[in-house]
Structure 1
Amino acid sequence: MFLTEEESGMLAGKKGPAVQKAMEILVALGESFGAKRLLTVSNVHMAGSSVLVAEEAGTRFVEDIKRQGGTFVTRVTTNPTAVDPVQWREIGIPESDSALQTRLTDAYAGMGANTCNTCIPYLVGNSPRFGEHMAWGESSAVVYANSVCGARTNREGGPSGLATALTGRTPEYGFHLTENRHGKLLVQVETSLDDMTDYGTLGYFAGRIAGQDTPVFTGIPSDPTLEQLKALSAALAASGAVSMFHAVGVTPEAPTLEAAFGGKTPEKVLVFDEAEKKKAEAALNKEPTDHVDWILVGCPNASVQEIREVAEALERKKVHKDVALWVTTAGAMYAMAERMGYIQTIKDAGGTVVRETCPFLARSRVIAPVKGYRTLTTNSAKMAFYAPGQFGLPTHYGNLNRVMQAAVSGVWR
């Protein structure tokens, strides 16, 4: 792989041991994927921000990099952590996680990261530009950045993201190359997409079949909301290993079907109709009873609009006494929603707005049995797909209206 004089100097240790180790990681990664060179980048979203992922060893590694003089030379935002910084004890997070998380977050902040601690960095100040080369982790954010923003990033892990942040370089392979961004299979949408949950169901359906390939959608309305595209991105990355999609007439690199496929013919054609939608919804409903005890809204993290919709659904109502309602979001979203009065409405109803973490990146296999949770109810296809395996919790899955009715009644209907 070709290295510039500056990059060769980094690899030789001329900018210190932290940068040298980072370059070793990037060169090894680039050579394993056949990259011809490194790209200069200035935008990283750090995936390894939770101690559930990093644990003690990963935390020490980041702390060691900081002690060696590591300083971030790019914009860096961080993914959700394992704790809510204010109410971790009340929601059941172990004290040991809180202490370790403080160490890890402090190490990232000390090197220059914006510790926003969210999976929606594009809503808290890190907005990708069209054509911008980046190094982002967090699967749903990667799909959103590539597809909705037209930026260019592979799905980076913690070590490679950290290495890019220290050097401002990433190997040129995968979705950084135009020829790898074209669609492989066509998904014809022949049913209505009315809300976030419908988009998540579509993503779950397509992701299972696409695997790592890029799907191209036709029949998606021309005016989907940010939240709907966020739900589609998350579900595609959950049921498959999708890093990008095209929606003809919606996403920036798909003004036409021909452009989405780069002039090639689709390798496969799928139809998503009402029957397939119902079948996919049924597959995500794993809990056969009507029992409800833990409800989750905000996967990926909720926008202010989503928090508003929860607050409106709870106006002058109470969450059932046997139900715990979590709305997970970023600290910045929390602050805006608090100013608008939405947080207080949810609190008054008995719900909890959780900041900077989520069931995926907190120790839910500890939280659930301690709190007595036996099921998880959600409007997120990503959460419904992962919860049975990751947390051992069967799921109820449906749109927000249905979920909020369950929150109040304590019964899934």
Structure 2
Amino acid sequence: MTMLLTDDERRMRDGEEGAAVAAAMDLLIRYGDALGAERLVDTRNVAGTMTQPSPAKAQLVREGGWAKAYAVINLDSDEDLDIPRMKVPTCQLQHGFSDDADGLTGYSTQSIELQGDAESYFSDRGVNILATCTPYQVGNLPVRGEHVAWMESSAVVYANSVLGARTNCEGGASTGAAGLTGKIPYWGLHDPANRFATHVVRADVRVDSFQDWGMFGYFVGEQVLEARPAVIGDLGLPDLTDLKHFGAATATSGGVELYHVPGLTPEAPTLEAAFDGGPIPEAIVYGEAERRWVYETLNAQGESTDVDFILLGCPHASLDQLAQIAYRLEGRRLHDSVQLWVMTPRALATMAARNGYTRTIMRAGGHVLTDSCPAMSRAAPPDTKVFATDSAKQAHYLPAILGIEAWFGTLDECLDAAVTGRWTGGLA
């Protein structure tokens, strides 16, 4: 099936807006045809990746500059293209470590410099270098019903579920093409008919704390995989940090891109509405045994209680989270053998510094870092053997990526470990 194109789309395809836009349209048409999409849809909000360094990208830059790298990686084109400004608002998601991490890790200075060069090139072409997995925390806040083209699993599930925007989990090529055209294939979660719930998951134990929202999310994702759950039961009122933690965990263990919390999220005023008035399936139960299973699963990759690295801020920490960390570290000092990294968007790092949170964290011996995370940059403090985190996502991924042990627990448990050098956490 060949997609139907508008007159404007045909003009872009035929090169009337330049060779780079024509290459972008060619990619989107091939992509849409492969998906069975009947048409493209307008988007005015793209979140992708252009600036993060890699050996392959460095080689392309040596061969033909950043235009060559964008053509090959973001447009699937071997042509020599002049890359124009983005046609619609486009932002860079998280990328590699920046200069605030230089010397703290084995991440190379050359990669940091290459990324800085990329930021200059792409900002000149209209890319907003937000450099975070949580663009919704620093100004990119689409409205309900808006068609967007976003990458990054935790950002996608938040955009769909909490904001009610419409996006599939896109890739570097599709977002690269969308930025130059303002188009994306109309399929999947862009279609309202594909946004209703498929499963019910009921919490029979209280879900109220940050830790419990993460564990519940991990269970939900493991149960429904890439489907669309409606979650009900003994749920406290979550805040932004709880919802980003919950969504990130569902996407980590199962690939969820949209969930509903009836009475809270915008597309599910009731459980019945989440299912479009259709049959409601029997609930999958999350009880005490399931809660313990999640906790033990996330802590199955830790043996030694001697901790040398604490990682907080995945997805990137909110200003409120930074305040909580600073408050708990006031008057304390990290153990000599432990490093503490708090990951946050650069815009929020500026606010944290202004409010004194950074000063308190650094006085205790910790670091507030921006733009990336150890999983994205594949780097931790040198000689790290055992780390602890309050993030279900990082506890799941980082041991496999870096070959280190992991402990998962509460913020207080992580900070106690940072101060003592030992893990003493347990399921309350």
TM-score in same-fold range (> 0.5): yes
CA contact (8 A) 1:222 1:250 kept: no
Secondary structure of 1:361's partner? helix
Deviations 1:55-105 (A, max 9, x none): 436766852358603210111121112112333233432122113222332
Deviations 1:108-163 (A, max 9, x none): 21210110100110011101101010000111000000000000001011111011
After TM superposition, what 4+ stretches of structure 1 lie above 6 angstroms from structure 2? none
2:368 corresponding residue in structure 1: 353
Rounded Cα–Cα distance in structure 2 between residues aligned with 1:149 and 1:58: 37
2:25 corresponding residue in structure 1: 23
CA contact (8 A) 2:20 2:83 kept: yes
CA contact (8 A) 2:203 2:235 kept: no
CA contact (8 A) 2:207 2:236 kept: no
2:304 corresponding residue in structure 1: 289
CA contact (8 A) 1:49 1:117 kept: no
* TM value normalised by structure 1: 0.95
Rounded Cα–Cα distance in structure 1 between residues aligned with 2:10 and 2:345: 39
Pair 1:79–1:22, CA change in 2 (3 A): same
Bigger mean CA deviation after superposition, 45-54 or 279-288: 45-54
Secondary structure of 1:51's partner? coil
Rounded Cα–Cα distance in structure 2 between residues aligned with 1:56 and 1:29: 26
Rounded Cα–Cα distance in structure 2 between residues aligned with 1:53 and 1:222: 46
Secondary structure of 1:45's partner? strand
AA of the residue aligned to 1:118: T
CA contact (8 A) 1:105 1:115 kept: yes
Q: Would you say 1:37 and 2:32 are equivalent positions? A: no
Rounded Cα–Cα distance in structure 2 between residues aligned with 1:12 and 1:182: 37
Pair 1:152–1:353, CA change in 2 (3 A): same
CA contact (8 A) 2:378 2:401 kept: no
Please show how residues 50-199 of structure 1 align to structure 2 within 5 Å: 50-52=52-54, 55-56=57-58, 62-64=66-68, 65=70, 68-199=82-213
Pair 1:300–1:156, CA change in 2 (3 A): same
Deviations 1:204-242 (A, max 9, x none): 111112111011100263621000000011111111111
Q: Would you say 1:279 and 2:297 are equivalent positions? A: no
1:409 corresponding residue in structure 2: 420
Rounded Cα–Cα distance in structure 2 between residues aligned with 1:18 and 1:76: 16
Rounded Cα–Cα distance in structure 2 between residues aligned with 1:352 and 1:239: 29
1:337 corresponding residue in structure 2: 352
Q: Would you say 1:400 and 2:415 are equivalent positions? A: no
Rounded Cα–Cα distance in structure 1 between residues aligned with 2:332 and 2:215: 29
2:74 corresponding residue in structure 1: none
Secondary structure of 1:305's partner? helix
Pair 1:303–1:17, CA change in 2 (3 A): same
Secondary structure of 1:299's partner? coil
Give identity over the alignment, percent: 38
CA contact (8 A) 2:158 2:243 kept: yes
Across the two proteins, how many residue pairs are aligned to each other? 409
Q: CA deviation at 1:267?
A: 5.0
Deviations 1:338-394 (A, max 9, x none): 110000000000000111111122132xx45xx110012100000011112112122
CA contact (8 A) 1:52 1:361 kept: no
Q: Would you say 1:362 and 2:377 are equivalent positions? A: yes
Q: CA deviation at 1:263?
A: 2.4
Given the alignment, which residue of 8, 11, 14 partners 2:13? 11
Pair 1:53–1:10, CA change in 2 (3 A): farther
Please show how residues 202-351 of structure 1 align to structure 2 within 5 Å: 202-219=216-233, 221=235, 223-266=237-280, 269-285=283-299, 286-351=301-366
Deviations 1:316-354 (A, max 9, x none): 000111001000001001011111000000000000011
Q: CA deviation at 1:48?
A: 4.9
Alpha carbon RMSD of aligned pairs, Å?
1.8
Q: CA deviation at 1:258?
A: 1.1
Bigger mean CA deviation after superposition, 190-199 or 136-145: 190-199
Rounded Cα–Cα distance in structure 1 between residues aligned with 2:55 and 2:404: 20
* TM value normalised by structure 2: 0.92
Secondary structure of 2:147's partner? coil
Deviations 1:152-194 (A, max 9, x none): 0010111110110100011100000011111111100111223
CA contact (8 A) 2:208 2:236 kept: no
CA contact (8 A) 1:130 1:151 kept: yes
Secondary structure of 2:47's partner? strand
Given the alignment, which residue of 389, 399, 402 partners 1:391? 402
AA of the residue aligned to 1:356: D
Deviations 1:290-322 (A, max 9, x none): 120111000000011111111111100001110
Rounded Cα–Cα distance in structure 2 between residues aligned with 1:319 and 1:403: 11
Bigger mean CA deviation after superposition, 78-87 or 276-285: 78-87
Rounded Cα–Cα distance in structure 2 between residues aligned with 1:180 and 1:56: 40
Q: Would you say 1:372 and 2:383 are equivalent positions? A: yes
Rounded Cα–Cα distance in structure 2 between residues aligned with 1:411 and 1:10: 59
Rounded Cα–Cα distance in structure 1 between residues aligned with 2:91 and 2:387: 29
Pair 1:167–1:57, CA change in 2 (3 A): farther
Bigger mean CA deviation after superposition, 32-41 or 129-138: 32-41
CA contact (8 A) 1:204 1:381 kept: yes
AA of the residue aligned to 2:122: Y
Secondary structure of 2:376's partner? coil
Secondary structure of 1:86's partner? helix
Q: Would you say 1:382 and 2:393 are equivalent positions? A: yes
Rounded Cα–Cα distance in structure 2 between residues aligned with 1:207 and 1:400: 23
